[in-house]
C-alpha cells in the first residue's frame, strides 16, 4: 500500500476494481465477471430481454445450470412430470442456445447444483464479482470472489449490460480461531455464528471470514461458511485466497492455464485486507467452544447443541421473541424442555449447495460404514453435482450408502426446497444438511432440523436426532 493511501478491506478492493462509475453517494455501476443463471429465476428476465428487443451483451460471461426443479431419481432422466417445471427447463434451454450461453442441462455430465458446479468447473476465480438469481451465491467467497444473489429484474439488467446498479455494503469480519473438536464441522461453525448474531445480524454487511480455524478448513468447509452466512442477512462473503484455493482451482476446465495461470496466481497475492483495514463489526469465535448443533425451530438461528433441550418460551423476557418461539415450537411439534435427542425422525436428507460436496459425503460415509438406517426412516443422499456423484462412486461411497439403506440419487437441489418431486409430507420430521428450516421449506407442513451431514447420518441410524460423537465414526 502506498504512503498516504487508505487501508482497504478485501471486499472494498474487489468492489473498487469493478466499479465502472459512481452513480450517486449510495450506488455504483458494478461490472459482473460471471453471471450464473438457473431455470427458476431466469425465464422472466429472458422474456423481458426479448420484449425490449435486446440481446445478451457477453454470452461467454454467462453460464446456465438446471438444478432447482429437476427430478433426482436414482436413474438420470430428462423427463419432468410437472408440466410447468418441464416448460421452465425447456424455455431456459431455448434461450441459452439462442444467445450462445454455455449450459449444463439435465443430461450434461457436468450438471448439478449451480453453487457446486461453478467452483468445480473453475468458473469462479479469486477477485471476481459473480451474480446469480439465487441468494446462496455468497458461496464463492470461499474462493476469494465476491458473489451475491440478485432479483429477476437485475438478472435481465446483467444479461443486457453485464453490469448492475449496486449499493456497497459495510464491512464485518468474523475471526474463528482455535481447533474444532471431534464431531464438529464447518456446518456447526456457521450455525453457531447465526445463532449468536441472529438472522439479521449481518444485514447490510459483507462478511470476511478469517482466523486459524478458517485456514484449517478445506475449501468445501469454507464454502459452507460463505454459503450459509446469507442466513444471517449478509449480502456478500469473502475470504483471502491461499494455497489451498490455488490447489483446488488448478486444472479446472475454466481456470487459467500456463503463463496465464502463473500471472493469475501473482495477482491473487494482493487479494487480502490491508493490515490496518477497518471493519464496522469485528467478531471473535473460538472453534473449541462449538458443539454439534441442531435447529429446534423454523429459523436458522433457532439452534441448540444436540445434547441440550428445546428452549422454554416462558424464560424469554422479550414478548415478540417469546411469541416467535411459541409459534416455532408449535409448528415443529416440540414441547418446551424436550430433549433434542428424544425427537423421532421420519426422513434423513444429505445434499444441497451447503453440504452436497464430496467431502460432505465422505463425512457421512464414515458414520454409516457398517451400520443400517433405522427401519422407519426414509433416507436420501443427493450429490451436489454429477461430478461429485462419479467421484463418490469411484471411492465406493455409494456402496456404503446403499448398504446402510440410503437412496443414492442423481444431482440437484432436491429436498432443500419444495420445487421438485422430493418433498416432505405434512408433519414429517427430517434431519437435513440443508440451509433453511422455514415453515414449508421442504414441503407443506414438513418439519426440518438443520445439522451437518455426519449428524444427519447419525440421526438416520438412530431413528432420532442423535449426537454423532456417541454414534461414532465422525
Do 267 and 346 have their domain in common? Answer: no
Helix axes 152-161, 43-51, angle to 10 degrees: 50
pLDDT at 3: 52
Question: Is residue 236 domain-resident?
Answer: yes
In this predicted structure, what is the pLDDT of residue 175? 98
List, for residues 138-157, the tens digit of each pLDDT value: 999 999 999 999 999 999 99
Q: Give me the mean pLDDT over the 439-454 stretch.
A: 98
Note whether 348 and 386 are same-domain residues: yes
When divided into structural domains, the chain yields a total of 2
Residue 1 in any domain: the answer is no
Domain identity same for 149 and 166:
yes
Whole-prediction pTM: 0.97
- pLDDT, tens digit (0-9, with 9 covering 90-100), for 244-302: 999 999 999 999 999 999 999 999 999 999 999 999 999 999 999 999 999 999 999 99
pLDDT of residue 472: 67
Average pLDDT over residues 181-206: 98
Query: CA-CA distance, 150 to 131, in Å (whole number)?
Result: 7
What gap in Å lies between CA 126 and CA 246, rounded to an integer? 9
Mean of pLDDT values over 237-245: 98
Residue 26 pLDDT more than 90? Answer: yes
Q: Are 303 and 296 within 8 A, CB to CB?
A: yes
pLDDT for residue 452 = 98
Question: What's the average model confidence in pLDDT over 314-321?
Answer: 95
Mean pLDDT of 21-46: 97
Query: Are 267 and 318 in a shared domain?
Result: no
Please report, for the domain that includes residue 387, its CATH number: 3.30.499.10
Please determine, for residue 424, whether its predicted confidence score (pLDDT) is greater than 70.
yes
Q: Do residue 438 and residue 449 come from a single domain?
A: yes
Same domain, 297 and 287: no
pLDDT at 473: 57
Q: What is the mean pLDDT of residues 421-444?
A: 97
Using one digit for the tens of pLDDT, what is the confidence trace for 118-131? 999 999 999 999 99
CA 13 to chain centre: 24
Query: Is 2 a domain residue?
Result: no
pLDDT band at residue 471 under the 50/70/90 scheme: confident
Tell whether 220 and 114 lie within a shared domain: yes
Instruction: Assess whether 415 and 462 both reside in one domain.
Output: yes
Closest C-alpha among 210, 86, 87, 101 to residue 155:
101
Read off the pLDDT band of 310 (50, 70, 90): very high
Final residue of a structural domain among 291, 315, 335: 291
**Sign of the C-alpha dihedral, residues 201, 206, 211, 215?**
positive
What is the rounded average pLDDT of the residues 57-62?
98
Query: Considering the chain, what percentage of its residues have pLDDT values greater than 70?
Result: 99
Same domain, residue pair 408 and 275: no
Q: What is the mean pLDDT of residues 187-202?
A: 98
Q: What is residue 315's predicted lDDT score, i.e. its pLDDT?
A: 96
Q: Which of 269, 291, 313 is the last residue of a domain?
A: 291
Please check whether residues 139 and 159 belong to one and the same domain.
yes
Which of 262, 291, 320 is the last residue before a domain boundary? 291
- Tell me: do 342 and 246 sit in the same domain: no
Determine the structural domain holding residue 251 and report its residue range: 7-291
Q: Are residues 275 and 224 in the same domain?
A: yes
Q: Which residue has the higher pLDDT, 4 or 451?
A: 451
Q: How confident is the model at residue 5 (pLDDT cuts 50, 70, 90)?
A: confident
Instruction: Name the pLDDT band for 83 (thresholds 50, 70, 90).
Output: very high
Amino acid at each position: 500500500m502506498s504512503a498516504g493511501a487508505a487501508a482497504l478491506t478485501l471486499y472494498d478492493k474487489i468492489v473498487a476494481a469493478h466499479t465502472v462509475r459512481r452513480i450517486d453517494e449510495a450506488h455504483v455501476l458494478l461490472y459482473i465477471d460471471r453471471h450464473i443463471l438457473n431455470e427458476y429465476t431466469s425465464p422472466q428476465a429472458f422474456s423481458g430481454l426479448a420484449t425490449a428487443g435486446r440481446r445478451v451483451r457477453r454470452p461467454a460471461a454467462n453460464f446456465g445450470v438446471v438444478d432447482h426443479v429437476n427430478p433426482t431419481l436414482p436413474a438420470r432422466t430428462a423427463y419432468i412430470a410437472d408440466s410447468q417445471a418441464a416448460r421452465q427447463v425447456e424455455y431456459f434451454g431455448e434461450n441459452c442456445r439462442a444467445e450462445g450461453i454455455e449450459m449444463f442441462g439435465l443430461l450434461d455430465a457436468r450438471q448439478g447444483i449451480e453453487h457446486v458446479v461453478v467452483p468445480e468447473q473453475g468458473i469462479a476465480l479469486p477477485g471476481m464479482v459473480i451474480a446469480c438469481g439465487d441468494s446462496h451465491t455468497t458461496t464463492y467467497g470461499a474462493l476469494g470472489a465476491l458473489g451475491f444473489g440478485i432479483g429477476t429484474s437485475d438478472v435481465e439488467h446483467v444479461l443486457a449490460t453485464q453490469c448492475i446498479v449496486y449499493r456497497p455494503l459495510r464491512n464485518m469480519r468474523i475471526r474463528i480461531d482455535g481447533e474444532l473438536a471431534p464431531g464438529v464441522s464447518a456446518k456447526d461453525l456457521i450455525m453457531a455464528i447465526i445463532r449468536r448474531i441472529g438472522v439479521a445480524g449481518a444485514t447490510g454487511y459483507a462478511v470476511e471470514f478469517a482466523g486459524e480455524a478458517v485456514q484449517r478448513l478445506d475449501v468445501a468447509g469454507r464454502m459452507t461458511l460463505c454459503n450459509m452466512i446469507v442466513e444471517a442477512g449478509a449480502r456478500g462473503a469473502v475470504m483471502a485466497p491461499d494455497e489451498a484455493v490455488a490447489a483446488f482451482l488448478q486444472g479446472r476446465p475454466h481456470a487459467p492455464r500456463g503463463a496465464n495461470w502463473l500471472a493469475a496466481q501473482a495477482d491473487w497475492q494482493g487479494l487480502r485486507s490491508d493490515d490496518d483495514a477497518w471493519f464496522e463489526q469485528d467478531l471473535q469465535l473460538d472453534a473449541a467452544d462449538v458443539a454439534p448443533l441442531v435447529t429446534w425451530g423454523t429459523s436458522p438461528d433457532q439452534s441448540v447443541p444436540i445434547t441440550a433441550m428445546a428452549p422454554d418460551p416462558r424464560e424469554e423476557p422479550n414478548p415478540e421473541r417469546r411469541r416467535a418461539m411459541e409459534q416455532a415450537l408449535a409448528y415443529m411439534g416440540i414441547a418446551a424442555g424436550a430433549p433434542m435427542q428424544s425427537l423421532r425422525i421420519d426422513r434423513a436428507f444429505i445434499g444441497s449447495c451447503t453440504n452436497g460436496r464430496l467431502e460432505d459425503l465422505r463425512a457421512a460415509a464414515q458414520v454409516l460404514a457398517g451400520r443400517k438406517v433405522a427401519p422407519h426412516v426414509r433416507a436420501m443422499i443427493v450429490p451436489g453435482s454429477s461430478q461429485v456423484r462419479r467421484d463418490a462412486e469411484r471411492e465406493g461411497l455409494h456402496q456404503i450408502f446403499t448398504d446402510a439403506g440410503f437412496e443414492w440419487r442423481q444431482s440437484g437441489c432436491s429436498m432443500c426446497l419444495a420445487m421438485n418431486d422430493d418433498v416432505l409430507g405434512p408433519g414429517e420430521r427430517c434431519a437435513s444438511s440443508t440451509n433453511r428450516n422455514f415453515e414449508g421449506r421442504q414441503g407443506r407442513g414438513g418439519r426440518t432440523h438443520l445439522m451437518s451431514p455426519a449428524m444427519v447420518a447419525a440421526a438416520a441410524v438412530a431413528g432420532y436426532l442423535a449426537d454423532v460423537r456417541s454414534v461414532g465414526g465422525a
